[in-house]
């Protein structure tokens, strides 16, 4: 057991060993980070998801799980799927604007007055 | 107990009552739907997330949880956060194209030859 338990093990009230899977990704100075993923996925599931990838990928797993858990708590109905929907709408809006100005450019080409380097 | 257990209760090997929280959102003809959310969140957590919202919102909760679970299984490192990153890149790309064609339009305005209805 280490002299200082890390955020995850502290919240789980269990012994924290030096090879603890949570240790590098849920530091004691940010207890909310583990609290959120624990609330949504459960500690056992988070541990499994960290273990099933290569060690160098675990930081990204912890970050993306925290991001998803954060949004699920903030928006219990849609979670981060709400963000995906909003981004799709934004893309649609920008593509619409793009098509509009491209149509203006096409009109000028048809008039044969201007030539542009694209 | 109903004569026909629904996907969730079948997988959990438990009795399925007519007021089962999973019943309307995890039908028996789509066992994968519950299997995915069960694997990522656990049945207890899914039940809690359904219960904490209004009844008319539960379909959306089940859909968004399934979507997130599907992507977490498909991409164990980034889950659906990988989609959010890709969409941000797509928006950046479309905005860049938009700025480019808008600059072309501005050039024409400066030359004072064309006027457009925007």
- A3: pLDDT confidence band, cut at 50, 70 and 90? very low
- Which of A47-51, A90-94, A99-103, B81-85 shows the lowest per-residue confidence on average (mean pLDDT)? A99-103
DSSP string, A9-58: HHHHT----TT-SSTTTS-TT-HHHHHHHHHHH-HHHHHHHHHTS-GGGH
Establish how many alpha carbons lie within 13 A of residue A33's alpha carbon, considering only the half-sphere containing its beta carbon: 18
Helix (H) / strand (E) element for B30: namely none
Hey, of A25, A45, A56, A79, which one would you mutate to test binding to chain B, going by the most B CBs within 10 A of its CB?
A: A79
Query: Contact, B34 vs B13, CB < 8 A?
Result: no
Q: Which residues of A touch B71 (CB under 8 A)?
A: none
Q: Please, which pLDDT band fits residue B23 given cuts at 50, 70 and 90?
A: confident
pLDDT of B2 reads: 44
Residues of B with CB under 8 A from a CB of A: 40-42, 45, 49, 52-53, 57, 60-61, 63-65, 67-68, 72, 76-84, 87-88, 90-91, 94-95, 97-98, 101-102, 104-105, 108, 113-114, 116
Global pTM reads 0.81
Chain A residue at shortest CA distance from B111:
A114
Average pLDDT over all residues of chain A: 84
Of A45, A52, A91, the CB nearest to B76: A52
**Tens digits of per-residue pLDDT, A34-89?**
999 999 999 889 999 999 999 999 999 999 999 999 999 999 999 999 999 999 99
Query: Mean of the pLDDT values across residues B51-76?
Result: 97
d(CA B76, CA B71) in angstroms, rounded, equals 8
Give CA–CA dist B77/B85, Å, rounded: 13
Is residue A24 scored above 90 in pLDDT? no
Torsion of CA B95, A96, A109, B101, to 10 degrees: -10
* Contact list, A82 vs chain B (CB under 8 Å): 64
Instruction: For this complex, say whether ipTM is above 0.85.
Output: no
Give the pair of three-digit tokens for residue B78.
């980034």
For residue B118, give every residue at least 6 positions away whose Cβ sits within 8 Å of its Cβ, in sequence order, or none.
Answer: none
Residue B48 CA to residue B70 CA, distance in Å, equals 20
């Amino acid at each position: 057991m280490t002299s200082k338990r890390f955020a995850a093990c502290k919240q789980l009230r269990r012994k924290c060993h030096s090879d603890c899977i949570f240790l590098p990704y849920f530091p004691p100075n940010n207890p909310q980070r583990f609290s959120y993923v624990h609330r949504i996925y459960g500690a056992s599931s988070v541990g499994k998801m960290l273990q099933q990838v290569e060690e160098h990928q675990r930081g990204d797993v912890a970050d993306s799980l925290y991001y998803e858990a954060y949004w699920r708590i903030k928006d219990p109905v849609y979670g981060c799927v709400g963000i995906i929907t909003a981004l799709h709408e934004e893309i649609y809006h920008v593509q619409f604007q793009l098509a509009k100005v491209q149509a203006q450019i096409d009109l000028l080409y048809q008039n044969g007055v201007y030539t542009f380097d694209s």
